[in-house]
Every structure is written in C-alpha cells, then in structure tokens.
C-alpha cells in the first residue's frame, strides 16, 4: 500500500467521505482494464477472475462496446420516457427473441428488476380482483437490497436492520419439495427463485425442485419468477439458466452482464403476465436510456459474432476440470467444485477463503469469496484457455500456503 500513494489517498478520502457500506475493501484502486486484465494505480496487472461480480462479460475496454458507448454518447445519452428511443425498443425486441418472452421493461439494476418483478406479479392478480400477494422465495437466496427485494432475500442479515419489513413474503429451504408444496397456496402470487444461488456459495438448484416449482405455479396459477441476474447472459453456458433447466418462467429478470458494465436491468414477461402493468404502474426516469440500451445491443452483437455462450460452456468445463484435478490433489482442503459454465464455486474444507482471496491478489489474480469457505469465480466470458493452467497452479500454491 505504501508503494501506491494514489491508493493511500483514495483510502483516506473514502474513509472520510463515502458512506460506510463496504467496510474495508481489498487494497486495490483500479485504474484501467484491458481484456481479461485489470491494472491498479500502481501499474500492477491482475487477471480478472471475478469480472465485476459477473458484470464484465466482455472483459474491459472491449472495442465493440467502447465504440457503441462513445458513438451513442455523441448522439444522445438521455431523453426521458416521454419519448421513444430507438435503442430501447430494439433491445426489447432482441431480448424477447432470445428468451421466448413477449414483453420487456428496462430499468437500471438487478435490484430494480426484481422489485419490478414482484410488483408485476402482484399487479397481475390485483387487476384480476384476486388478493394474491404472497411471494415464496428460498432461504439463502439473494434478490437485491431494496426493502422488498431484501425481504424476498432468504437471509435475515440483509433485511432485519430495516424492520418493519413489507408483508407477504415466505421463505422455504432451497431444494425442499415438501416445504415448497406446503408454502404455495391460493394466496401465492409468485414463486421467485435463483437457479444457482450465487451469494450463498454458488449452489445449484436440483432440476426436480425447479420442475416442481413450475408445476405448482401451473396448478395454482401463481407466477414463476426466475431471477437470472447472475445466471443470465450466457454465464452458465446457456443464454439463460432456465433454458438449461427446461422451464418456462412467467417473469425473468436480467442485469449484471447485459450491458457489459453500463448500469441496466430488465424484466421480461409473458403476454398474459405483462397485463399486470398498465400506464403509470411502473416507470423509471433513467430506465431504458439510449446509452445503456446501445451498450446492451453491442454486447448482444458480440455474443452472436463470437459465439460467447458456447465459449462460456467450453471454457467453464475446462476451468472446472482443472479445479477438480486440484481437488483430487488436495482433498483435505478442497471439498467440492460446483456451478455451471463460468459461474464456479470452490468449497474449501477450512475457513480460509478470505485468506486465499488475499493470497491470490498478491500473485496477480482477482477472485471472490463467499462466507468463510467458498471461492467464487465469475470471469469474463472471453477468458482464454491458455490462462487456466497458470491460474490453477497459483491457486494450488496459495491454498497450500494459507492452509498450513
């Protein structure tokens, strides 16, 4: 830290002026990025294996994305939703075609998208004269930090300090069919699920649980909301994780990688479900602005041109295979490798994840940790195979160093 005066100054200013929401961050002030690499203000280079928490799907400073953003910024950045704008409408059409959904609303973040999804499900039944307000979600889920989405999140640590909380939310154990059956009834407006719980340690849903949730929704008329904020945009080796699981949601939420780093979120709905919103029910000043939508269109263009969804599947299997090999060498330290595509969790037997994260950063790698014992990897989808071996070798060294 002493060798980077800019970092030291920024830490001092952050402690003085920024709201204390993050605690002590990793000792890195990012200056710029290029491809899969991030550079600190001290000039040191890092391989980005956390990708801005699944946001930087094209890595950093991708030429197609930079061109789209600069070109759109030179034309119009924002015009409000009093008027039509071409990128917004073309993005809605593109997302509908890619997902099989009918209607799209574009906001600014994942939390906003999930908030809108909850409102849409409740609005759908309100307009039918049916007071079905209950939202069933899973324990250990994560759906955002607004008051409603934090309440939908099945982790009280995110919501308890902000009581009284919105009513009508019920949580069931993840992958527990009996508990789900007991919770869903004629008061249920929606079942809201992540197909891989990222914030609780990259924990995939059992296919039987997901299919049963869909079945219950069809039987009762409840809306099925699939939160694809982290699993969407090809992250799992499919454009949507719901496509891999073979279910058809009534509502899908997207964000994170959708615009490659420009803030955006989207709610996608079936035609019937979309009737839950009528003019004035849900709007956003910045939502669907031309800049964010142009960025998202550029990301989708690059996906198509470079086959990035298939690349994520292939690269994810290569990375997972390397990690499974590492697990075979260190069974006393590594307990499990799980996830899909380039969304991978490495379960450590010992509570050393934070130390491993710090050790990897010292070696020039950015990785994530969840809790005390999970290393989370969410690299850009452009990660080349050639970097996997060195990463795995340095991870092995780091784990051995901190587990002594």
Model confidence over 13-42: pLDDT tens digits? Answer: 999 999 999 999 999 999 999 999 999 999
Within-domain flag for 70: no
pLDDT of residue 1: 45
Q: What local confidence, expressed as pLDDT, does residue 341 receive?
A: 99
Residues 173 and 296 in one domain: yes
End-of-domain residue from the set 277, 306, 335: 306
Give CA–CA dist 389/62, Å, rounded: 24
Owning domain of residue 51: 5-61+307-402
Residues 45 and 177 in one domain: no
Q: Tell me what the mean pLDDT of segment 166-194 comes to.
A: 98
Confidence of residue 345 (pLDDT cuts 50, 70, 90): very high
At 404, the pLDDT band (50, 70, 90 cuts) reads confident
217 and 147 within one domain: yes
Same domain for 271 and 191, yes or no, is yes
Over range 67-91, report the average pLDDT: 98
Collapse the DSSP code of 52 into the 3-class scheme (helix H, G, I; strand E, B; otherwise coil) and give the result: helix
pLDDT of residue 381: 99
Task: Tell me if 250 is assigned to some domain.
Answer: yes
Examine residue 67 and state whether it is found in any structural domain, yes or no: no
State the CATH number of the domain containing residue 350: 3.90.1150.10
In terms of pTM, does the model score above 0.85?
yes
The number of distinct structural domains making up the chain is 2
C-alpha 217/C-alpha 270 separation (Å) is: 14
Same domain, 246 and 348: no
Domain boundary among 248, 272, 306: 306
- 169 and 267 in a single domain? The answer is yes
User: Is a pLDDT exceeding 90 seen at residue 3?
Assistant: no
The CATH number of whichever domain residue 195 belongs to comes to: 3.40.640.10
Of 273, 306, 339, which residue sits at a domain end? 306
Identify whether residues 201 and 259 lie together within a single domain: yes
Per-position DSSP letters for 139-202, written without gaps between them: BT----SSHHHHHHSB-GGGTGGGPSPPS-EEEE-TT-HHHHHHH-STTEEEEEE-SEETTTTS
Q: Give the model's pLDDT for residue 251.
A: 99
Question: Which tokens is 128 given?
Answer: 């039918």
Listing DSSP states for 81-111 in one string gives TTS--HHHHHHHHHHHHHH--SEEEEESSHH
109 with 229, same domain: the answer is yes
User: Within a domain: residue 286?
Assistant: yes
Question: CA 70 from chain center: how many Å?
Answer: 25
The answer on 84 and 197 residing in a single domain is: yes
169-172 and 134-138: which strand pairing? parallel
Contacts of residue 319, Cβ cutoff 8 Å, sequence gap at least 6: 342, 344, 377, 379, 383, 388
Q: Is residue 68 part of a domain?
A: no
pLDDT band at 104; cut points 50, 70, 90: very high
Calculate the average pLDDT of the chain.
Answer: 98
Residues that are catalytic: 142, 227, 256
What is the percent of the chain where pLDDT is above 70?
A: 100
Is 206 contained in some domain? Answer: yes
Q: pLDDT for 191-235, tens place per residue?
A: 999 999 999 999 999 999 999 999 999 999 999 999 999 999 999
294 plus 319 within the same structural domain: no
**Cα 275-277-281 angle, rounded to 5 deg:** 165
CB 146 within 8 A of CB 115: yes
Q: Is the pLDDT of residue 272 over 70?
A: yes
Nearest partner of 147 among 111, 171, 188, judged by Cα: 111
Residue 396 has what pLDDT? 98
Structure confidence by residue, pLDDT tens digits, 389-398: 999 999 999 9
Claim to verify: residue 57 and residue 82 sit in the same structural domain: no
Same domain, 246 and 301: yes
Determine, yes or no, domain membership for 71.
no
Domain presence at residue 364 = yes
pLDDT value of residue 382: 99
């Amino acid at each position: 830290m002493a060798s980077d005066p800019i970092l030291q100054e920024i830490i001092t200013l952050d402690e003085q002026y920024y709201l204390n929401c993050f605690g002590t961050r990793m000792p890195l002030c990012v200056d710029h990025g290029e491809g899969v690499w991030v550079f600190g203000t001290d000039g040191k280079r890092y391989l980005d294996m956390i990708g801005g928490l699944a946001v930087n799907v094209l890595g950093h400073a991708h030429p197609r994305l930079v061109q789209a953003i600069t070109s759109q910024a030179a034309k119009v950045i924002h015009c409000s939703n009093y008027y039509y704008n071409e990128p917004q409408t073309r993005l809605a059409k593109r997302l509908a075609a890619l997902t099989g959904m009918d209607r799209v609303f574009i906001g600014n973040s994942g939390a906003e998208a999930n908030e809108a999804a909850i409102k849409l499900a409740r609005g759908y039944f309100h307009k039918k004269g049916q007071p079905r307000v209950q939202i069933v979600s899973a324990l250990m889920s994560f759906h955002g930090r607004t008051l409603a989405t934090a309440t939908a999140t099945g982790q009280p640590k995110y919501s308890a300090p902000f009581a009284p909380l919105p009513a009508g939310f019920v949580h069931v154990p993840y992958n527990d069919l009996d508990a789900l059956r007991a919770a869903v009834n004629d008061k249920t407006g929606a079942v809201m699920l992540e197909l891989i719980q990222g914030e609780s340690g990259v924990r995939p849903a059992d296919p039987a649980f997901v299919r049963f949730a869909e079945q219950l929704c069809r039987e009762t008329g409840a809306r099925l909301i699939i939160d694809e904020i982290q699993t969407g945009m090809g992250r799992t080796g499919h454009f949507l994780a719901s496509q891999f699981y073979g279910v058809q949601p009534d509502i899908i939420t997207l964000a994170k990688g959708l615009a490659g780093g420009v803030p955006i979120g989207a709610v996608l709905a079936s035609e019937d479900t979309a009737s839950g919103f009528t003019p004035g029910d849900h709007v956003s000043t910045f939502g669907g602005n031309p800049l964010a939508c142009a960025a998202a269109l550029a990301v989708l263009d690059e996906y198509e041109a470079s086959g990035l969804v298939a690349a994520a599947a292939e690269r994810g299997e290569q990375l997972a295979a390397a990690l499974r090999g590492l697990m075979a060498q260190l069974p006393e330290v590594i307990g499990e490798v799980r996830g899909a595509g380039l969304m991978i969790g490495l379960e450590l037997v010992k509570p050393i994840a934070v130390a491993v994260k710090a050790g990897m950063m010292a070696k020039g790698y950015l990785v994530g940790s969840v809790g005390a014992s999970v290393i989370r990897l969410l690299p850009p989808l452009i990660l080349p195979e050639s970097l996997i071996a060195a990463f795995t070798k340095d991870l092995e060294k780091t784990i051995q160093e901190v587990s002594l």
